[in-house]
């Protein structure tokens, strides 16, 4: 009995000590500590009323500690509500537990950096380009103003000299704002004719060269509508053609009631190349074939040139022959039309004219071009015209077109004196042997017996000709010259007279 009482008192004292410690330091999470060993039921019952008072005191202490824990919990919750949490702010960095999310984050940042860099670079280039454009516009305005002052000074000096204003001269080069602002100022005259003159132009932006044809002024008896139709029809014909042996037509500019046709520039004049005497036999053959190819293309388009001659051929830097000047060209067959539209009038240069042009009021222009091709070949080989004009009044042509039979009834022989030879052999004997057969079929006075363009291209000799550069050695010395050919039947080198430069 005494041992049990001693154990119970120790238990009470241990419980009181624990509660007191908890009261001193309350905790919202810790629970009251229970003794490791509880008294047995028989021992508790034996205590009796003496232990009743001690149990009531323990209950009071437990209730006080519970209230203290509740107050501490409320104070902790209040403190957490006042403290700002980091979850309310957006997270700048992804979770460090995921390497994939981290890689995506850095890739996205790198991509934004690159895009920003490219955008800044593009903006810099745009600003640089705008600055360059403003610089070019300023230089162009300065150049145009200088040109105006130059023209004004020239007009003033011309007026003081008593020769009138240069702007009223047909051959003058007045200030042309629309043309010069696009292609540059008009340069030297490269050639002239009844249809106008051709000048050289250098574009300031890239230094590219063009040939500009200034059309003739309107005649006094010519209406504005007729004049505009004549000019625009020539431009439309040339602009519609696209062939390596046809000069390219680029633009048509109208200014001060004058029309200007901008064309591809041919740096070498074919006439001057022939006159230089430096072309080889193969280059002459190649030039003839290239001219034939250009005419074949024209005829396939329903057009006839009608003014074929050495002067209307130019040569490019790579040695390609190109046809120019379509002012006399006509349409002999319209699309979806089978019948040939006859041409009228004497058009072309006298030595190159076909005989039927002189004595027929209407004629097919295709055989006329073919006849002119034969004359071109004779000129390139012989460097002389075979006759002045294809008329019986011209002795050389009369002997060519005469019957080969002599007065005594015998045939004209090849070995006879050249002065007594009659008929086509008078000319064909001077040409290369390989070309005589084809040229004999081209230079036929009777139009019905003259060969066609198709037959020329199908000729065996023509097929064997290789297309090569026609520029001879030392061609840099051959430049455009203003020439006026007088047909006398004499060697060509004696027929050229230089025209004073304007």
Catalytic residue annotation = 307
- Whose tokens are 């009844």? That residue is 194
Q: Are 471 and 280 in contact (CB under 8 A)?
A: no
Question: How far does Cα 316 stand from its chain's mean position?
Answer: 19
Separation between Cα atoms, residue 5 and residue 66, nearest integer Å? 29
Distance separating alpha carbons of residues 42 and 7, to the nearest angstrom:
13
Neighbours of 252 (CB within 10 A): 18
Angle at 490 between CA 191 and CA 320, to 5 degrees: 45
Q: Identify the three-state secondary structure at position 201.
A: strand
SS3 per-residue string spanning 251-290 = EEEEECCEEEEEEECCCEEHHHHHHHCCCCHHHHHHHHHH
372 contacts 308 by C-beta, under 8 angstroms: yes
And the tokens for 132? 């360059």
Task: Give residues with Cβ within 8 angstroms of 338, minimum separation 6.
Answer: none
Tell me the CA distances in angstroms from 325 to 193, 266, 275, one per residue in order: 10, 12, 21
Cα–Cα distance measured from residue 16 to residue 195, given in angstroms and rounded to the nearest whole number: 134
DSSP of 317-331: TTS-EEE---TT-EE
Render the burial of 125-137: b for 16+ CB within 10 Å, e for the rest.
eeeeeeeeeeeee
CB 395 within 8 A of CB 310: no
- Give SS3 for 193: strand
Q: What is the dihedral of CA 277, 280, 282, 285, to 10 degrees?
A: 0
Which residue is it, tokens 């051709």?
A: 198
Please tell me whether residue 487 adopts helix, strand or coil conformation. Answer: coil
Assigned token pair, 157? 């000096």
Radius of gyration of the chain, Cα coordinates, nearest whole angstrom: 54
Report the C-alpha gap between 378 and 464 in whole angstroms: 19
Buried b (16+ CB within 10 A) or exposed e, 317-354: eebbbbbbbbbbbbbbbeeeeeeeeebeeebbbbbbbb
Question: By C-alpha distance, which of 488, 432, 425 is closest to 288?
Answer: 432
């Amino acid at each position: 009995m005494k041992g049990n009482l001693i154990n119970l008192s120790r238990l009470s004292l241990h419980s009181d000590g624990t509660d007191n410690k908890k009261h001193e330091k309350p905790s919202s999470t810790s629970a009251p500590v229970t003794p490791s060993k509880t008294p047995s039921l028989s021992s508790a019952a034996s205590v009796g009323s003496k232990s009743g008072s001690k149990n009531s005191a323990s209950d009071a202490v437990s209730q006080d500690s519970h209230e203290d824990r509740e107050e501490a919990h409320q104070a902790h919750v209040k403190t957490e509500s006042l403290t700002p949490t980091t979850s309310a702010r957006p997270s700048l960095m992804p979770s460090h537990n995921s390497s994939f999310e981290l890689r995506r984050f850095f890739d996205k940042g790198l991509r934004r950096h690159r895009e920003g860099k490219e955008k800044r670079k593009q903006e810099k280039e745009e600003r640089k380009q705008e600055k360059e454009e403003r610089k070019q516009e300023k230089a162009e305005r300065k150049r145009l103003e200088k040109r105006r002052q130059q023209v004004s000074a020239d007009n003033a000096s011309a007026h003081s000299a008593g020769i009138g204003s240069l702007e009223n001269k047909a051959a003058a080069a007045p200030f042309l704002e629309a043309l010069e602002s696009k292609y540059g100022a008009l340069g030297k005259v490269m050639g002239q004719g009844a249809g106008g003159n051709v000048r050289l132009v250098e574009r300031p932006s890239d230094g590219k060269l063009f040939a500009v044809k200034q059309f003739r002024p309107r005649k006094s008896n010519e209406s504005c509508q007729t004049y505009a139709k004549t000019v625009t029809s020539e431009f439309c014909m040339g602009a519609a053609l696209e062939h390596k042996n046809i000069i390219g037509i680029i633009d048509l500019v109208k200014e001060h009631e004058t029309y200007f046709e901008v064309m591809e520039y041919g740096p070498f004049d074919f006439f001057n190349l022939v006159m230089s005497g430096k072309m080889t036999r193969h280059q002459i053959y190649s030039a003839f074939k290239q001219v034939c190819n250009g005419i074949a293309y024209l005829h396939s388009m329903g057009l006839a040139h009608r003014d074929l001659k050495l002067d209307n051929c130019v040569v490019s830097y790579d040695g390609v022959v190109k046809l120019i000047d379509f002012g006399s060209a006509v349409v002999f067959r319209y699309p979806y039309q089978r019948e040939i539209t006859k041409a009228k009038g004497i058009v072309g240069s006298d030595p190159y004219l076909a005989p039927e042009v002189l004595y027929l009021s209407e004629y097919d222009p295709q055989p006329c071009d073919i006849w002119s091709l034969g004359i071109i070949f004779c000129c390139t080989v012989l460097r002389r015209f075979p006759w002045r004009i294809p008329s019986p009044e011209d002795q050389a042509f009369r002997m060519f077109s005469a019957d080969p039979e002599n007065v005594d009834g015998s045939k004209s022989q090849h070995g006879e004196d050249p002065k007594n030879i009659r008929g086509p052999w008078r000319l064909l004997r001077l040409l290369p042997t390989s070309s005589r057969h084809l040229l004999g079929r081209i230079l036929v006075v009777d139009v019905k017996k003259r060969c066609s363009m198709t037959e020329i291209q199908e000729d065996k000799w023509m097929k064997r000709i290789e297309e090569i550069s026609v520029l001879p050695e030392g061609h840099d010395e051959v430049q455009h010259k203003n020439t006026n050919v007088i047909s006398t039947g004499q060697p060509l080198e004696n027929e050229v007279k230089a025209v004073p430069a304007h």
